[in-house]
A = this chain, B = another copy of it.
Amino acid sequence: MDRLPGFRDFYPEPLPHSDVWSADLRQWIFSRWREVALRYGFREYDGPPLEPLELYTTKSGEEIVAQLYNFIDKGDRAIALRPEMTPTLARMAGAFQRNYPKPLKWFAIPQLFRYERQQKGRLREHFQFNADILGETNIAADAELVALLIDALRAFGLTEADFWIRLSSRRAWQDFFTQKGGQPDRAYDFYQVIDKLEREDPSESEKRLQSLGFSLETVREFIQAGQPTAELAALLDNLSERGLGAYVKVDYNVIRGLAYYTGVVFEAFDRKGEFRAIAGGGRYDHLIKLMTQGKADISAAGFGMGDVVLTELLHQRGLLPASRMELAAYLLIEDETLRPASLQLLQQLRDAGMAVDYSLVPLKSDKQFKRALESRASCTVRLEKNEAGTLLSRIKNLATRTEQLVPFNETARWIKSSGPDQK
């Protein structure tokens, strides 16, 4: 029986097969995301992976349903597996935001689901690092988010040579559209053309722009000029003051397809342009009010970063760790009469916080040693008795292959302090 198409299994490393994913790597990525978010003073939240379908149609209209895992449950409720986190955030913040000091700086690492029938072979789930600031309209909030995004990528060893953040402004495009005489009710169609400009055939873009009263040339001139709005200028200043100026650039090619952005928008890309966007976000000041039926009128900005493109990029740059399995010690039991004492030692070492493994059953010496090496243990520990019948631990450092005999009860302390580096 196979897993469902578009879903991933996460195996322990070493990976048995090239098309399966690693639970160790996933945990490594989550830990870094979480650590950076906490460093920035963001607080974690999460909602259920299942939500009422209405939560998504309210935000995105009925069209979204075609892309969702949705169904009717046994209580006749229309429900869906969450395709994105923002509606859950709006629902949760709407319920309790008054109980928190403003602004709210919240993050989550949800698994998200999309059922896209037409794109066979593409994943139907991914994990996404979501960070949002609620209740602060000042551009300083956008700057804090972009800085967090930069550091969330730097946490993996990526540098300014690897990625950059393209900064743009939905408001700049809105002003452009209005000043050039665009019809207010066609603004969203216009944004859609801009969003596809880099991927679509120019003649097609030209045709669609003309139907909206624009020429491709005017649009290109506006992008080319790249004149930062006052807001973008303040954002650039803020990031420069943090020493992060080299990571960002104004680029009006970015506009973000979704309807609800209201201010600065941004996307992270690898410098070589080999991958899809690594992350994207922006300001959406009216969405939470819309989604809570006016109950919570709170401004918001945020971004999302998926685990799939990030993993591909880290893999290509050689930044994925080889293996995450590391034991402080592997216990060798060669004399079965010493198994009870070895179990006692095992518990002592684990109680002292060390990762320790051993063979559950009698096994030839060389096989036990092979398991110690496979487990990337820092040392092996083997009990033996001296002539006086006193138990001693023979500790072998697996990096230097040097050995040391220490008293039974000092084994944990010895490995921890003077022994091989603790993992």
In the complex, the answer to whether B1 meets A347 with C-beta atoms within 8 Å is: no
**Is A185's beta carbon under 8 Å from chain B?**
no
Name the distance in Å between A79's Cβ and chain B's nearest Cβ. 6
**Is A4's beta carbon under 8 Å from chain B?**
yes
In the complex, the answer to whether B10 meets A46 with C-beta atoms within 8 Å is: yes
In the complex, the answer to whether A344 meets B103 with C-beta atoms within 8 Å is: no
**Is A209's beta carbon under 8 Å from chain B?**
no
Contact of A140 among B3, B10, B40, B360 (CB under 8 A): B360
Contacts of A115 in B (CB 8 A): 73-74
Task: Encode contact with B along A132-159: 1 for CB under 8 Å, 0 otherwise.
Answer: 0100101011001001000100000000
In the complex, the answer to whether B77 meets A73 with C-beta atoms within 8 Å is: no
Name the distance in Å between A394's Cβ and chain B's nearest Cβ. 20
In the complex, the answer to whether A347 meets B243 with C-beta atoms within 8 Å is: yes
Copies of this chain in the oligomer: 2
In the complex, what distance in Å separates the CA atom of A49 from the CA atom of B126?
Answer: 12
Cβ < 8 Å to B, chain A residues 42-71: 43-52, 54-55, 58, 69, 71
Contacts of A101 in B (CB 8 A): 371, 374
Q: Closest B residue to A330 by CB, please name it.
A: B41
In the complex, the answer to whether B355 meets A41 with C-beta atoms within 8 Å is: yes
Task: Encode contact with B along A20-45: 1 for CB under 8 Å, 0 otherwise.
Answer: 10011011000000100011110111
In the complex, what distance in Å separates the CA atom of A26 from the CA atom of B109?
Answer: 13
Binds B, one of A92-100, A192-200, A257-265, A302-310: A92-100
In the complex, the answer to whether A100 meets B346 with C-beta atoms within 8 Å is: no
Contacts of A9 in B (CB 8 A): 45-48, 92, 95
Contact of A4 among B39, B52, B350, B361 (CB under 8 A): B52
Q: A9-B48, A17-B99 are in contact. Are A357 and B75 (CB under 8 A)?
A: no
Q: A11-B45, A11-B92 are in contact. Are A4 and B353 (CB under 8 A)?
A: no
Q: Which of A11, A241, A354 has the most CB of B within 10 A?
A: A11
Contact of A3 among B47, B238, B243, B341 (CB under 8 A): B47
In the complex, the answer to whether A343 meets B241 with C-beta atoms within 8 Å is: yes
Q: Which of A17, A20, A138, A347 has the most CB of B within 10 A?
A: A347
Task: Encode contact with B along A342-372: 1 for CB under 8 Å, 0 otherwise.
Answer: 0110110011011111101100000000010
In the complex, the answer to whether B71 meets A361 with C-beta atoms within 8 Å is: no
In the complex, what distance in Å separates the CA atom of A46 from the CA atom of B125?
Answer: 14
Q: A96-B20, A242-B347, A327-B41 are in contact. Are A4 and B46 (CB under 8 A)?
A: no
**Is A106's beta carbon under 8 Å from chain B?**
yes
What residues make up the interface of A, taking CB atoms closer than 8 Å to B?
Answer: 1-5, 7-14, 16-17, 20, 23-24, 26-27, 34, 38-41, 43-52, 54-55, 58, 69, 71-75, 77, 79, 81, 91-92, 95-96, 99-101, 103, 105-106, 108, 111, 113, 115, 117, 125, 133, 136, 138, 140-141, 144, 147, 151, 237-238, 241-244, 291-292, 325, 327, 339-341, 343-344, 346-347, 350-351, 353-358, 360-361, 371, 374-375
